Amino acid sequence: MQAVLVNRLLARPAVKPVLWLLLALPALGLLWGAVQNTLGANPAEALIRSLGDWTLRGLCLTLAITPLRQWTGWHGLIRLRRNIGVATFLYGCLHWLAYAWLDQGLDIDALVKDVIKRPFILVGTAAWLAMLPLALTSFNAAIRAMGGRAWKDLHKVTYVIAPVALLHFLWMKSGKQDFAEVTVYALIVGVLLGWRWWRRQTGSA
């Protein structure tokens, strides 16, 4: 009965606008912090890293939709997965653009050299670029044009993007020997991907 009520709630038209508002709140909070100069001693670094953190959280949340549907019976969550995925891509864009602007001054030559020179930035850039085709095909017209099976196969790239983004996060944190957050995200990603592997092995996928 509870699942039925939740699914009815998730089917309401107002749910998606509310979701977009919730997804925008972190970015709006960071913008407010930048305007009010409350991001700390190094606001540029705080902005870049916070946007990256929200990108990784968005990837985790996107991966969590299917297990949550299976565990709770809240099948209406599937309506929200594409919205969360697009928002995650937008946070990735903001993260990379903040790095390009605040760290490299939008100097193309400096950007290319820095990406090539620093592996953790190269890996992060690869993860961001891998999200691009997913964002571009996140609309109903793209699904119809590609066909449902091909669309689903393409969007399984998320299973690779999440570990690559996690590696980017690990290398970024390793400079300060700070692995607490990395461990938490690694456990989350490991559980979400491990659940999918188990489902496939048992023929439940």
What's the whole-model pTM score? 0.93
Residue 148 confidence (pLDDT): 80
- In this predicted model, what pLDDT tens digit does every residue of 34-80 receive, in sequence order? 999 999 889 999 999 999 999 999 999 999 999 999 999 999 999 99
Residue-range domain boundaries for the chain: 2-201
Answer yes or no: is pLDDT of 205 > 60.
Answer: no
In whole angstroms, give the CA distance from residue 155 to residue 173: 28
- Structural contact between residues 63 and 162, judged by C-beta atoms closer than 8 angstroms: yes
- Structural contact between residues 74 and 6, judged by C-beta atoms closer than 8 angstroms: yes
